[in-house]
Each structure stands twice: as C-alpha cells, then as structure tokens.
Structure 1
C-alpha cells in the first residue's frame, strides 16, 4: 500500500517541532517497508517540488498556513492527487489537513493530532479580525479531520482525552503515539561567553500557554528578596512577554540558534523550567533529559506523563507553589538527580521505540 503524508510542515518550517515529527514519521514508515509519497505546496524553486507532489501554483513557504492556500490544497488539489498517485493510506500531520473530498480509492486516512489548543486556548495574531478568521478556519478543518479520520494518533494521553472531550466518538479511534526525540547535535565546543557560569534555561516562549510571565514574576520576586536564584536564559523573543519583564536584570534572551548552540545551552544549564499551563507533549523537557539536565515542570497536562517521577513539579496557576519549587531547586536542597537516570528516562522517547509503535499502529489499521 502506498502511503501519502502531508509534508507541508517540513516545507514551511523545517526546524519546528511538528516538522521534526513529520520527518520521524517518514523514516518510521520507510523502516516499516512502506512506499512513501509526500504531498506539499512550495515556492517555484523550492527543492520540495522535486521531492513531493505539489500543485503547479507556487506558494511562499511562509504562506502555506493561510486560509486560501490551505483550502486550495485540501479541496482543490489533494483529492485528485491522492487518486492519481494510488494512495491507499494518507496521514495528515499537523492537527488537520485531510482531503475535504475523500476519494473512493483512499482506503484509510489518519490524523496526527498533536494537540487541540487551537480550539481551546487563545493564540497570538496580528489583529482580532485575523484571530477570528484563523479560529473559524481551525474549528472547521480540525473538526473535519477528527470526524473523517479512521484513526487519530496523539503524542500523549492528555491530548487524546482532550480530543475525546471535544469530539463525540473520537476516543474510540484515538491511539497514543509518543513523539520521537532524536539525539541532540554535538554541542558547541565552547560555551556562550556572554552567559554566566550558572543559569536556568527556558525553551519556547511564544504562545500564551507557555506561561512565561508567571515564571518571571516569581523568579524576580525571590531575587529581590535576596534568594540566590541563578540567571535565566530564555530561547525565544522578548516581545513574547510584557516589556517590563523582558528587560529584568539576569535575563538573557537567545534566538536563531544552531542545533549545536541549543545543545550547548541544554548541557550547560543547571535545570530546565517548563511552566506551561497546557502542553500536548513537551519536547524541550525530553531534550533536556537526553542531556542529563534536571527539569522542573508544571502539572496538569502532558508534562505529567513524560517526566520521571522524581522531577520537580509545581502548580502553574499558584505562585506559592512555583516559589517553593524555585527555592527547592537551589543547590543542596534536593537529592542529586544523576544524569544517567535522566537520560534513561528520556530513552523511552527515542527513535527505535517510536518506529516500533508506528509499525504496531500500521498493523492495527490493516486489521
């Protein structure tokens, strides 16, 4: 059976978390002996025009998510392309993306549903009108995909439960496929000379659910009270937080990092903090653990599932809980978390277990 996968996330943002999961899925399908056909949109000279089935019309990579382009692809191009390519199984890889007209030749269609935050939480948009348009589009396209999928694969039980809560009948078709976390790049030989010797790390600041102001406020308060909390390094954009918080003494912002530079930050950090109020998986947590770096995570979402039992935890809505965790994370207050144990805990999310799980889910589809 020829398997088609939605390759648009890789074309649009090849280094994003979703794109990395699409690439992992592609390799897992190939390892399982499947013939894989990629479907995407791309600019005129983009190399994916040689790698994937694309409509003739060129589309800027940064415009693949726009409503007109998405509808043209999923309604106008994809149904016929799937039929012409003889695709028996099609996998939509970015919360939606199944053909709006399912061709009769398509025996199975699967939705890779990373999370449902587009439906349950506010996002960041340039204007209220733009936000309303994208919200309406997400409701329609995600709803169509969830209802039309023969199987739904989510990276966590948390996301599976949320899908079942929002869509009647989705629970019976949903299976957990934990994300694949590949080994990080070899870290840069030298640490960033502009960073202090001791620091805590935060990776990802854009969405409001990342809850970064909550962390910064408690961190600042304790430092003002004389607590010797380390500096914070945030991989993100200062514009993601209020101006007065983005310029606090002891904050160091980084963006546009290479894989080797990010790996260096993970290895050098005393601890990774992940204060999100909602998370469908939590890739930075596993990446930190892969480096042997301890983590401190918010409770109440998929972070509960992926972190080892001994991980430091706090309530993402309770400042007192976070402040207690910040103090507890200071040297000498917790039992030593050995790097080998942390790396072993992250190993269950490696490439080999992921490929085994994909092969199992494919067998279930065939049955």
Structure 2
C-alpha cells in the first residue's frame, strides 16, 4: 500500500503538538508491513525538507504555509495530480483540514486527522476581530469539505469524535479514535530552569482563551493570600495571554522558549500539573506529566476526562468554589504519591500502543 502523508505541519513547526503527531505517524507508518510511505509538503527552494518530501516546483514561504491562498495552490494545483502520478492508495491529511480539492483520484482513499474543532466552536486568539472572523469562516469551510470527502476521520479522543458527530451528524460513521502518541519520559538528570522556585505547581499552555488560565490565576491568588501552603506557580506561556492585573502576581513565574530538556525537567520536579482548560481535544501536557509520575488536576467536560486517571483531582472549569477546594486539597495532601501507577497509565499513549491502534485503523481501510 502506498500511503501519502501531509507533512506540512512538521515542516512548519516540528516541535509543535501537531508537528510531533505528524512525525509519530511517519514513524509508525514507516514500520507498518507492506507500506510504502511518501511525504508531501511545501518549503522554500533551499529547504532541506525538499530532499525527503514531494514538494511543488515553486518556492513556498515557510512561515506562510497556513495562509489560505498558499494552501489553495497546494491542495488544488499540486496535490491531486501528484497523488495520481505516484499512485497513492491512501492519503492522510494531518491538520484538521487540507484534503485535496477537486475530484478524488481513482482508487485513492482519504483520511483526515481531526485534532479538534475549536476553530469552529471556540474564540481563538488572533491579531484582530476581522482576521478572527475571516479565518473562522475559511477554516469552517475547509474542515467541512475535508470531513465530506474523507473516507475516515481520525480523532485523538472520544470527546473530539462526539464533537465532530454533533457538528457533522451526516458523517458520524466515519469517525474513529486514534489517541495521540506521547513519548514516555526518560530519567531527568537536569534541574528545573533557572529562576524556578524549589516548590511549585505547573501550568503548560496559556495562549488560547479556552485554556482558562485567567480564571485559574484568580482562584490560585485568592487561595494563596489566605493559605501559605499554596505553592508558587510556574506557567509555560506568555504574560500577555492574560489580563494585565494578573501578569505579575506574587509567586507567579512565566517561562517560554524552553528547550525540551528544560520542559521535561519542569514536569519532573513539579508537585502537580494543573490543566484548567474548558475545551481540550486531547490534553498532551497531562499525559507528559503523568509519564514522569507527576500528579495532575484537571477541569471536567472535555477530553481531559479521558486522558487523566481516576486518581486525578477534578473540578468544574468555571466553578470557583470547586477549584478553590481542589487547590487547598492538593496543597494539604500529606499522602505520599505512588508514582508508578501514574507512569503505567501514561503507557497507553506510548508508541507500542499507538502502533497497534494505527495498524487496526489501516487494516479497516484495506478491507
């Protein structure tokens, strides 16, 4: 079977969440028996990606591949012909959208990897209101087209499948769960980044409003002012992601631009990872923390319900009393945490399990 993989997310940002999932697909498909893998991407003329991927003959702006006009030229003017020429049996689009425009090549099947639908259901961070409205309309049309033309749609959680079925009930039979791959932690030998307090809680990700960081900071500050046992807080993100009065709170530390080594050290040394998001398609930081044996506390109502073990503290994302109670409980929990069950839970998202799920989904398409 010849499989084509949309490699654009890994070309643009190989260390991003989606970029890492594309590389996981590349690794797992490369090990799949009877598979011949072809990568499809865009890149500048002098970019090394052109040595390993099938790219258009024209120069493409590396940091502009997500622009609608650039995507249109690739998905309509280049991709359909290349799939026919290379006799691709299965083409996988990897970034919520991006399946070819026009008639499907004979004998070729399409899969859409749908990480989430927050472009359609949530208010995302954009430079202006006009830009936000434009991208919402364009993304909605592109996602709808890709869901329409796809033979299967793979989502990282049952929550995401259910959301997709709610928005596209006519495509309900296409949706399948392919949980994200999460690399298992290796022993951490480095300390946390300079300036990190000796005792701290951790939040990873703050940019999108759905991350709910502003609300979390308000409750954390309220509890900390009344209780000296509430630890300091480290956020991997930018202060500009929250309201000005929340950016410089006492005991709050912002970090960004971290190396992978420093990020893993943060997970390892944290007393608890907090994930207050009211909308998550998967929840990668939760599983990354668990792979280090670090306890997690999560908001209810999204994919976090699935990726966190039963032992995790849970709270309603907009309930200040529930969140404050959880903050106090975790701060005063004197029971020694057994880290091994947390690491064992995270194993279900490691590469061996990921390959089994992927192989089963591919086998379904072959029959």
Residue 180 of structure 1 aligns with which residue? 181
SS of the counterpart of 1:119? Answer: helix
**Cα pair 1:89 1:107 within 8 Å, conserved:** yes
- Once structures 1 and 2 are overlaid, which stretch shifts more, 158-167 or 130-139? 130-139
**Cα pair 2:229 2:332 within 8 Å, conserved:** no
Q: Cα offset for 1:106?
A: 4.4
Residue 353 of structure 1 aligns with which residue? 353
CA–CA distance in structure 2, aligned partners of residues 328 and 82 of structure 1 = 56
Q: Cα offset for 1:107?
A: 2.2
**Cα pair 2:97 2:143 within 8 Å, conserved:** yes
CA–CA distance in structure 1, aligned partners of residues 115 and 171 of structure 2 = 14
Q: Cα offset for 1:113?
A: 0.6
Residue 22 of structure 1 aligns with which residue? 22
| Count of matched residue positions in the alignment of Structure 1 and Structure 2 | 366
CA–CA distance in structure 1, aligned partners of residues 288 and 275 of structure 2 = 12
- Once structures 1 and 2 are overlaid, which stretch shifts more, 49-58 or 276-285? 49-58
Structure 1 residue runs of 4 or more that deviate by more than 6 Å after TM superposition: none
1:201-228 C-alpha deviation (Å, 9 max, x unpaired): 0111111100000110000111122342
Q: Cα offset for 1:311?
A: 0.6
**Cα pair 1:297 1:313 within 8 Å, conserved:** yes
Residue 4 of structure 1 aligns with which residue? 4
Q: Does 1:147 align with 2:185?
A: no
**Cα pair 1:185 1:259 within 8 Å, conserved:** no
Residue 166 of structure 1 aligns with which residue? 167
**Cα pair 1:156 1:178 within 8 Å, conserved:** yes
Residue 215 of structure 1 aligns with which residue? 216
Residue 89 of structure 2 aligns with which residue? 88
**Aligned in 2, Cα 1:327/1:366: closer, same or farther, shift over 3 Å?**
same
**Cα pair 1:187 1:262 within 8 Å, conserved:** no
CA–CA distance in structure 2, aligned partners of residues 343 and 186 of structure 1 = 12
Residue 50 of structure 1 aligns with which residue? 51
The TM-score with structure 2 as length reference comes to: 0.97
CA–CA distance in structure 1, aligned partners of residues 327 and 121 of structure 2 = 29
**Cα pair 1:186 1:260 within 8 Å, conserved:** no
Residue 68 of structure 2 aligns with which residue? 67
Residue 260 of structure 1 aligns with which residue? 261
CA RMSD in angstroms comes to 1.2
- Once structures 1 and 2 are overlaid, which stretch shifts more, 339-348 or 94-103? 94-103
Q: Cα offset for 1:120?
A: 0.4
Structure 2 unaligned blocks of 5 or more: none
1:177-326 equivalent positions in 2, closer than 5 A: 177-184=178-185, 187-326=188-327
CA–CA distance in structure 1, aligned partners of residues 229 and 132 of structure 2 = 41
**Aligned in 2, Cα 1:102/1:184: closer, same or farther, shift over 3 Å?**
farther
1:25-60 C-alpha deviation (Å, 9 max, x unpaired): 111111112111011111221111111111122222
1:220-243 C-alpha deviation (Å, 9 max, x unpaired): 111122342101001111111111
1:121-179 C-alpha deviation (Å, 9 max, x unpaired): 01111111211111111011000001111001101000000000001222211111111
**Cα pair 1:290 1:346 within 8 Å, conserved:** yes
**Cα pair 1:113 1:154 within 8 Å, conserved:** yes
SS of the counterpart of 1:215? Answer: helix
Q: Cα offset for 1:102?
A: 3.4
**Aligned in 2, Cα 1:129/1:106: closer, same or farther, shift over 3 Å?**
farther
Residue 80 of structure 2 aligns with which residue? 79
CA–CA distance in structure 1, aligned partners of residues 17 and 9 of structure 2 = 9
CA–CA distance in structure 2, aligned partners of residues 188 and 173 of structure 1 = 44
CA–CA distance in structure 1, aligned partners of residues 29 and 106 of structure 2 = 20
Structure 1 unaligned blocks of 5 or more: none
Residue 342 of structure 2 aligns with which residue? 342
Q: Cα offset for 1:88?
A: 0.9
